[in-house]
Structure 1
Amino acid sequence: MFIGRQDELRELRTALTESGMCVLTGPPGIGKSALAAALALPGTWWVSLAGSSADPGELAATLAAGLRARMGNPQVTDIIELFAERIAGEPEPSLLIVDDIPALTEEIIDHLIVRTAGRRLRTVLITNRVPGVPAPVLELGPMAAADAAELLGSDDADLLDVLGGHPMALRLAGLALRKHSPADLADRLSGVASPITVLLRDRFDGLGESSLRVLRFSALSSPAALPPGVLRLLLGRPGAEEAVEELHRELLADGALRVHPVVRDTARRHLPPVDWTALARRLADAVIDHPWSDPDESFLVSRHAARLAGRPDLPLAIVDRLHRRVITLREPVLTVPHHRELAERHFDDPEVLVEAAERMRDVGQIDEARDYADRAGPLATDPALRHRARLLLAELLDELGDTARADHLWTLLTGSTDTQLRFLRSRRLRGRYDEARRGLAEFIDRYEIRHAMFDQVQLAHLELARNEIEVGAQPEARRRAARVIAAHAHPDLQGHTTVAEAVRVLTDARLTPPLTDPRDDRPVWEETESELRELRARYTGSYGPRHTLTLSLAVAHGETLTALGRLGDTLQRVREDVLDRFVPEHPVRFRAEMVLGFAAARSHRNADAAEHFAGAFHGFRAVLGDVHPNTLRAELALGVALKLTGRRGGARHMLHVVRHAPGSVGIGTDLFLQSAFGSGLSVFPSWLWRRLTPPARE
């Protein structure tokens, strides 16, 4: 039962309502976790980062791994994105509590806040130390006198004064009052440096052997909770159940059997000495033998395996197995140190080396990945493993610019369709667009009629779309990506990873075609508008209106309507969700502002149009630079809008476009802007139109 802290609870609720997040801080045992738990929102997600270092990347990866476990260990790469989509689909606000953060800085906050979940996710960050962060901070201190007396179960002034309003000390003292009078307990605790330590030692003295062993196991391993499955392996089912019940009753562990850090530290210092190496060996055996059925338990087991793998007093064979247990996690940042350790221990094992190379590539350690892949190839006797090592090495060499050596490897790599696609991708990355285009077109022609090759053909279409983007054929790429999405119209395929990637291609800012005169290709735009409208409706029904795929399709649909001159207000209705769900630097936000700007201009609301174009221009400039075509298109539109409203800066923006715009920026822009702004464009100088319009269209 939660007692007291009503003022703090109201302050916490207010901070979460106004800011969406709050940092809870205070000394150990002061009741931070209990206060967060008292919020009791309908959907609460709790992840402990106990045992993590203060590295922001490791903390973020641990949060991701914890969320993955609580979501049932889905086999997806980006668990944070999946979590954000689940939160966005909930009808009521959800609460994320991130506990046991070792320290908190502005950078760590950026890594732990799931901004893409939007305003419906409230986040509480719990830590002991806050050196100063740009976030609402609620620092817990001693409890008020009346609340402290209620929690203690006594109003003895002397005892309350000794305990100092500390919730953990009050709860422990409340148990001690079953055997001692308030006066005797106050005398006993008076003058000691740490009343909590004395009270904990009293609790230790009455514990059974199974509970004492649990405390020792906790003291030598990770601060993460000890999974019940591990305890059953260590103590047997009756002993484990007895220990869990007793430790919870004696306030030494919570319901999830997470031993409080103060309890762990006291147990380490004050319990009678034991053979810690033998104890670590037993715990390591249980961690290794733990079954895999429960995702939550497996996540905790990996936390303990990671800590035990660093002990120098364990046999190397056991340490190896502990490292292998950790690398089953899907978060590369957490597994890289263990892959690296295994690769050094097993420098002649090609499978270990290939796995290490793949993880190093995932985290951007390209040179190290190349070295491991290079060593693995000659060692591999299995043809499939040798092929895997060579294929990985060829791609890594391409990324590092060693094209001569990569070409030699590509000549040795033949056979699978996956290899063909990865080879053609390498051609695109090298800038050999014609070769990539021809190869992809042949691949699609050869396999498109084969049902078994559906997935590979759709991947080839997406790769060809990326190739078309880079050669300036954005409309073709856009239509190709839309066809890939349409090909997954069956309900069983709508959640396919290829669909998400196709929407990303479709909505990428660099893919956005110049909004040219729709008469050039009106039938295609009509077809595209119809497809996107149906897709948007389908995804709204399947995933909800706030899903990022749905919102991305809404923006793309708004662009097709704009190109057809049917602006409407459909995008205006979802603008708030677009701004909420996409991070500030996401191109979808800027593209939405562009479309809304044209809609406002068409309605002769030029001041509103200028605001939308300004948002698009500043966003594109921050992400893509001053002279990217998308930035220049937005700046041109902004200049026109400012000119029409009589505000300063319009001519300056237009002249900047004149100086830096390639011909592609102006293709059809005159016709489109004239259709958007109407006759007001008489203020726009004809010499600028001539400068922006290539000779071929004059």
Structure 2
Amino acid sequence: MLDETIDRSRRRELAALHDALTGQPGTCVLTGPPGVGRTALAAAYAETFPGAARWVSLAGSSADPDEMAATFAAGLRARTGNPPVADAVAEFAERVAAGPEPTLLVVDDIPGELTAELIDRLSLPEAGGQLRTVLITGRDTPGLPVPTVELGPIGTALGGHPMALRLAGGDLTAMAARLDAETVSPVVVLVRDRLDRLGDAACRLLRVAALSSPAALPAGLIRLFLGASAEQAVAELTRELLATSDGGACQVHPLVRDIARQHLPPVDWTALARQFADAVLDHPWSVPLESFLVARHATRLAGRPDLPDAVVDRLHRRVIAHHQPAGEAALVLPHHRELAERHFDDPEVLIAAARVMRARGEPEEAKDHADRAVPLATDPATRHAARLLLVECLEEIGDTTRADALWTLLGAADGPDAAAFLRARRLRGHLDEARTGLTGLIDRLGTGSAVFHQAQEAQLELARTELDLGAQSEARRRAARVIAEYTARHLTDHATAVAAIDLIGDARFTVAPAEPDDDLAGELLRLRDRYAGAHGRRHRLTLALAVAHAEAERREKTLLAVRDDVRDRFPLEHSARSRTELLLGFAAARGRRNEDARDHFTDALHGFRAVLGDTHPNTLRAELALGVALKLTGGRGAARHMLHVLRHAPASVGIGTDLFLQSAFGSGLSVFPSWLWRRLTPQARE
């Protein structure tokens, strides 16, 4: 009878989960109190899913959104075998998008509040329609932008708690009579019953789970800690329904962990933590998934004040070494902070901490650590590194007076730090100085293979400067040459090549009807085809180049060929998506498909406004085009959009409005009164 009740309830819950995942956006939140069976339900659904399933647990993370996102990235990297890429999340999204079957991603044990932003970071919209995501949390989740499936009690016996029902077994009547006299919840009593009959090794394992991270205990770590009794302890906990085993890793239920901490006989917790820390440090940290879990336990142990300083030091350094190649700065920053406090007179430690702080958007704190490192450094190379880091932090916080003095001391204008100096000049707005300096630097570097990467980085920085100066054609061509140089060397995934592709698709480039640029279009077509062959047609870099090629070619069929993939892979806020919508709007307007044009311009305005703000030229172009389309289709809001453009366009941008409107809408503009036409077109006023 109990099994039938549970099965019937499970079938209803599985149907609700399936319904929540099959619509848009393909993400749902699974919630309910501890022990209600959220993880078991997701596992049951994964067994019926037609594609592959990936499972990432955030157990052991804090509730900070950045740390949760970083733990997610590290867990996904471990689950996919530590791919040698800078961004494992983007790499996973690309694999899913290119796969022949859909993928189910389950993100379990989310400890903090779920917000729309965090859901976006964890559900990977860039993977497109191939991904379905289940986010599991125990917190209340009101007002979320995705469907929620809330699990509740099953029947009335034992409070309907699924874990209590399973622990009780079949004789619920006798068990209920016994539990009526208890002052604690049924599940607590039932867990205590099972704890009382455990062997020593299983109890020892439970105590370790109680003092360490909530993350699963990997098999290799359990063997180091328990020796020959490891497998027996895990099997006993699993048999008693106090833990689950996945690939040898032992996941103790959170309720069991809390009850065990209170119920099991007291022990010397400091001695136990020291023994477990020794096992963590002795672990080889070589298997990706085990290493991820061991790092979670090392992080928790490193926060214990009762461990010796030398042990805590080693724990901090092991976690940093584990995450450093992957660049999960949010996970290593607390460890760098602690080491910097412990070793306040070690310039190497201070510099390492400052670099991570700067990467995490903490330039003030990074500046303080670099400042402390400069006088402590006795080695010239270390002192130079500290000064360069310090001056870059000063630039970020706006202390230009002190930064100028340091640049002079470094001799950066024509020395080895010239690229960093000239980047700082660009960011300060000294664009002509930056362009002249970068041109000279590129000439001095030449074309030798020893300076290839340095020269290409300088070329890309010059392209950014040209974009800021309004030399858009030169900027795009230069960025395309950088991509071509890396492509010729089969380095299509190099960070500089990826940055150049991002620059080519920068939202700030003017998007307006114009004559095709055949030379640039040909180069971008060749690059697009190379990336399609190396990465696939739907890869985000291939699509970014395809959109840039479509812009240069100005042909609707080129845009239509990538439209569906762009919409599937990029959100509205991505510049490639916004630019595509605007160009499709132009094409629809020229074809007198004014309603289609209106829809495209609406999406383009949303994207540009989110990235560039209300008054950037591209935002105003999209808003102006939308206003015209609304007027031509009888839609509401045309006057509001026009007035906004009137207030901002003449003062902020030479928008070329007459050519813009005539080439996009042609004779349809006769619906506008002459006074409005004169206000909108500077050349008409002249």
TM-score (norm 1): 0.88
**Alignment partner, residue 167 of structure 1:** 162
- Counterpart of 1:547, as a letter, is H
Query: Which one of 590, 593, 598 corresponds to residue 578 of structure 2?
Result: 590
1:315-338 deviations in Å (ceiling 9; x for gaps): 122122222223332322222222
Tell me if the contact between 1:105 and 1:133 (Cα under 8 Å) persists in the aligned partners.
no
1 CA distance for matches of 2:150 and 2:643?
A: 54
Is the 8 Å Cα contact of residues 65 and 112 (structure 2) preserved in structure 1?
Answer: no
- For residues 247 and 360 of structure 1, what CA distance do their matches in structure 2 show? 42
2-structure distance, mates of 1:220, 1:655: 64
Deviation at 1:645, TM superposition (A): 4.5
Q: CA deviation at 1:398?
A: 1.2
CA contact (8 A) 1:50 1:223 kept: yes
Partner of 1:335 in structure 2? 332
Equivalences for residues 164-563 of structure 1 within 5 A:
164-174=159-169, 188-189=178-179, 191-192=181-182, 193-236=184-227, 238-255=228-245, 256-328=249-321, 329=323, 330-413=327-410, 419-490=417-488, 492-510=490-508, 512-513=509-510, 515=512, 517-518=514-515, 525-562=517-554
1:37-90 C-alpha deviation (Å, 9 max, x unpaired): 112232222122223332222222221221122223345444333332222222
Question: Paired residue for 1:114?
Answer: 124
> Are the counterparts in 1 of residues 511 and 582 from structure 2 also a CA contact under 8 Å?
no
Please give the alpha-carbon distance, in whole angstroms, between the structure 2 residues aligned to 1:359 and 1:682.
59
Partner-residue secondary structure (3-state), 2:487: coil
1:633/1:468 CA distance change after superposition, 3 Å:
same
Shift of the 123–517 alpha-carbon distance from structure 1 to 2, 3 Å rule, reads: closer
- Assess, with a 3 A threshold, how the Cα gap between structure 1 residues 81 and 201 changes in structure 2: closer, same or farther: same
Contact preservation (8 Å) 1:65, 1:331? yes
SS in 1 for 2:244: coil
Contact 2:106 2:133 in 1 (8 A): yes
Does the Cα contact within 8 Å between 1:596 and 1:612 map onto a contact in 2? Answer: yes
CA deviation string 1:554-599 (max 9, x = no partner) = 221221122xxxx233323433432332233222222111100111
Q: Partner residue of 1:156?
A: none
- Structure 1 residue 117 displacement after superposition: 2.4
| Structure 2 residue matching 1:299: 3-state secondary structure | helix
Q: 2:137 aligns with which of 117, 127, 145?
A: 127
**Which residue of the partner structure matches residue 606 of structure 1?**
594
Amino acid in structure 2 at the alignment position of 1:302: A
1:675-686 equivalent positions in 2, closer than 5 A: 675-681=663-669
| Aligned residues: CA RMSD | 3.0
Cα distance, 1:553 vs structure 2: 1.8
Gaps of at least 5 residues in structure 1 are: 145-160
Q: Is the 8 A contact 1:514 1:669 kept in 2?
A: no
Question: Contact 2:658–2:683 at 8 Å: present in 1 too?
Answer: no
Q: 1:298 to 1:339 in 2, by over 3 A?
A: same
Find 1:22's aligned residue among 21, 28, 33.
28
CA contact under 8 A between 1:475 and 1:513: conserved in structure 2?
Answer: no
CA deviation vs aligned residue, 1:430-481 (integer Å, no higher than 9, x gap): 2222222122222222334212322222211111111011111111111111
User: How many matched pairs?
Assistant: 666
Residue 15 of structure 2 corresponds to residue 6 of structure 1? no
Q: Which runs of 5+ in 2 are unaligned?
A: none
Structure 1: distance between partners of 2:558 and 2:181 = 71
SS in 1 for 2:23: helix
Deviation at 1:650, TM superposition (A): 5.0
Quote the Cα distance in structure 1 between the aligned partners of 2:18 and 2:123.
17
Contact 1:515 1:672 (8 Å CA) reproduced: yes
Post-superposition shift, 1:394?
0.8
Task: Give identity over the alignment, percent.
Answer: 64
Q: 1:554 is aligned with what amino acid? A: A
- Give the Å deviation of 1:257: 0.4
Asked whether the 8 Å contact 1:377–1:390 carries over to 2, the reply is: yes
CA apart distance, 1:312: 1.6
**SS at the partner of 1:489?**
helix
Q: Which has the larger displacement, 619-628 or 655-664?
A: 655-664
CA change 1:685–1:496 in 2 (3 A) is farther
From 49, 72, 80, the counterpart of 2:81:
72
Rate the CA distance shift 1:540–1:664 in 2: closer, same or farther, 3 A: farther
Check whether the contact 1:516–1:668 (CA below 8 A) recurs between aligned residues: no
The 1:355–1:33 alpha-carbon spacing in structure 2 relative to 1, beyond 3 Å, is same
Query: Structure 1 residues 190 and 657 mapped into 2: Cα distance closer, same or farther (>3 Å)?
Result: closer
Could you state the TM-score of these two structures normalised by the residue count of structure 2? 0.89
